[in-house]
Chains A and B, each alone.
Chain A
Amino acid sequence: MSVQRHEPPRRRDTAALIVAAGLAVIGGVMLWDSARLADLGGYSGVGPASVPRVVAWGLIGLAAWTAVEGLRGDFPERPAQNPAPVLWIVAGLAVQLMLLHTAGFSIATGILFAFTARAFGKRNLAMTIPIGIVFAFVVWTIFSQLLMLHLPAGPLEQLFFPGG
């Protein structure tokens, strides 16, 4: 529920200002992009560039509003965060993305599985990576072999299902 704060701390909120700058940049990029579109509005009078322009100005307005709130320190407090677990999950997703087409679904996803588990406190990767790979392989088998969903295969998958 909304928190009633009678005495808002009037302190400049740098993070909020960065958000405001980001919104303004997105708005600017949209304006720049829509400037290069040919005006093919045809009979409607509303061309492909019209809606992006409206949205862009909306974003710029919101950026200004955010900046004002940031300067007045009206932004809500953010919960304290541990960066390490977040980075483990992001790393897991990045590894999966890079390995998917070379190592195959099971290995890549097994690593994601293990890294996520580590972020939530299961630190022993020597145990979680094999568990993850076996689990991902079972899932791969069910979906790609029985349900014919196309999932990338790597050396492990080819070992068990040559030609698959």
Chain B
Amino acid sequence: MKHLVLVSLFAGAMALPAMADYTIIAPANPGGGWDQTARTMQTVLQEEGISPSVQVQNVPGAGGTIGLAQFASQNKGNPDALIVGGYVMVGAILTNNSPVSLKDVTPIARLTGEYEAIVVPAASPIQDMAGLIEKLKADPGAVSWAGGSAGGTDHIAVGLIAKAAGVDPTKINYIAYSGGGEALAAILGNQVTAGISSLGEFEAQIQAGTLRLLAVSSPERLEGVDAPTLKEAGLDVAVENWRMVAAAPGLSDEQKAKVTADIEKMAKSENWQKQLADKGWMDTWLAGPEFEAQLDKDIESTAAILKDIGLVK
């Protein structure tokens, strides 16, 4: 028996060399999008020989703000430390009054992203976005929306849709679920009027015909997706749930360039592209000043809509 344990541990040892180079903080519990992004980065960075060994550390809590705060305070000037984050963090920083924000770390690049999809159960009488908006205008309370956690991307998107349709965003009947999965079950079970989540969560159901896709939140039509954008449906809304990687605060320009080069090498590798395709993630690579400008814009618009929904005073 002992022998077997040794064999198995040895198998583990060969798969995972001891030297750590990068340490990636996933500011969430195992299983979520950030954790998966971090672990995919770990795999690709190691397999592509960019880093001999990568460790992933989960620091869960409060929409990533706990991990972010810990990361910013403990790693000042450490070029080997990385943190995964995303659009949800932008909202969480605002709703939780987090003392540490994305300004306190060094954003490196946007890696992947997902667009939001608005769906109804196949049995629903609502046929298109116009039908849904009509119902929303008539009685906002009668339209229940199932989506992810309060103040998250899904909630923000519903707020933006209501606002664009001329409905008071505080009047939306948004029902928060802990994850896309639970929300999907509620939609499939005909418990709610409509559902909103990232397109990937719904894709298989849409193909199987159990959900009807009304619109997507991308700025332009998506290839292979048979649905209008919100803009085409007459609502001036575009939302992307992006995920990014950031480095520690206080890096020199050379250090920052080195990290960016490593991450770019990873993101441009075939291996990474294959992983994205497997997981149904989009490559939305954006780095440097363009990324920083985009980030500023997102922070500003998010703060405004959270105020409108009433989540931020």
- Of A10-18, A72-80, A103-111, A146-154, the stretch lying at the interface with chain B is A146-154
The count of residues in chain A whose C-beta lies closer than 8 Å to any C-beta of chain B is 13
B-chain residues with CB within 8 Å of residue A146 when the two chains form the complex: 9, 12-13, 16
Cβ-defined contact, A42 with B173, below 8 A: yes
Cβ-defined contact, B19 with A164, below 8 A: yes
Contact of B173 among A43, A142, A161, A163 (CB under 8 A): A43
Cβ-defined contact, B16 with A148, below 8 A: yes
The count of residues in chain B whose C-beta lies closer than 8 Å to any C-beta of chain A is 15
> Is A40 engaged at the interface, CB distance under 8 Å to the other chain?
yes
> Is A145 engaged at the interface, CB distance under 8 Å to the other chain?
yes
Interface of A is mostly: loop
> Is B57 engaged at the interface, CB distance under 8 Å to the other chain?
yes
How many cross-chain pairs have Cβ atoms below 8 Å apart between A and B?
27
Cβ-defined contact, B19 with A163, below 8 A: yes
B-chain residues with CB within 8 Å of residue A148 when the two chains form the complex: 16, 55-56
Cβ-defined contact, A164 with B20, below 8 A: yes
A-chain residues with CB within 8 Å of residue B16 when the two chains form the complex: 146, 148
26 interchain pairs, CB-CB under 8 A: A38-B310, A40-B310, A42-B173, A42-B174, A43-B141, A43-B173, A142-B9, A145-B13, A145-B18, A146-B9, A146-B12, A146-B13, A146-B16, A147-B12, A148-B16, A148-B55, A148-B56, A150-B55, A150-B56, A150-B57, A150-B58, A161-B18, A163-B19, A164-B18, A164-B19, A164-B20
CB distance from A99 to the nearest CB of B (A): 17
Mark contacts of B121-159 with chain A using CB atoms, 8 A cut-off: 1 yes-contact digit, 0 otherwise.
000000000000000000001000000000000000000
CB distance from B82 to the nearest CB of A (A): 14
Give the residue name and chain of the A residue nearest to B17 (CB).
A145
A-chain residues with CB within 8 Å of residue B58 when the two chains form the complex: 150
